[in-house]
Amino acid sequence: MSDSLHSLQRTLCIIKPDAVKKKVQGGIIQKILDAGFNIRGMKMIRLDESAARKFYEVHKERPFYGELVSFMTSGPVVVIALEKENAVADYRKLIGATDPAEAEEGTIRKIFADSKSENAVHGSDSEENGKIETGFFFTDKELI
Ligand code: ATP
Ligand code: MG
């Protein structure tokens, strides 16, 4: 039986359009690598409206859903499949709180994000979603 706290997990990072526009992809990726994550897949894409709506479907009843979809389609993003022991929780800790104003010093959102809506990166929120979201953007063959 696997201990979910210590097993090898996958989690999905999206470097969001605000961070790509600011050309801070390199700094964000370096912080992720320095924290011990392995990159299994990475590509730059532009989400269309239907993909963005589907990816964030869990938020479809929230008042910010329309704004979130239009932000996520506003420019290219970098999607990265990450792997590491305890990847989901460790990556959430590395990116910090949703609102950069509340994020801890040294976290990716504290350093690179401007606001709660334009917050530089996405991170999966559970082991199950780490698998689902990685599969949303990558086929098994694309994961090295
Ligand atoms: P993500 O899922 O992108 O990693 P998160 O898990 O920290 O972020 P969620 O609650 O899942 O936060 O919200 C998804 C995204 O929706 C946020 O990252 C942010 O871009 C946007 N968002 C969340 N709350 C708000 C809000 N109150 N106003 C505007 N945008 C918001
Ligand atoms: Mg979330």
What residue ranges do the domains of the chain occupy? 3-139
Ranges under pLDDT 50 in the chain: 1-2
16 Cβ partners below 8 Å, 6+ apart?
71, 72, 77, 118, 119, 120, 121, 122
User: Looking at the whole model, is its pTM more than 0.85?
Assistant: yes
Q: What mean pLDDT, rounded, does the chain reach?
A: 96
- Residue-level pLDDT at 1: 47
Ligand at minimal distance from the CA of 71 is 1
Instruction: Verify whether ligand 1 is closer than 6 Å to residue 74 (CB atom).
Output: no
Q: Which of 19, 122, 123, 138 is catalytic?
A: 122
Ligand at minimal distance from the CA of 92 is 1
1 Cβ partners below 8 Å, 6+ apart?
none
pLDDT tens for 76-114 read 999 999 999 999 999 999 999 999 999 999 999 999 999
Q: Is it true that domain 3-139 has CATH number 3.30.70.141?
A: yes
Please provide residue 56's backbone torsions phi and psi, each rounded to the nearest 5 degrees. Answer: -100, 25
Instruction: Verify whether ligand 1 is closer than 6 Å to residue 73 (CB atom).
Output: no
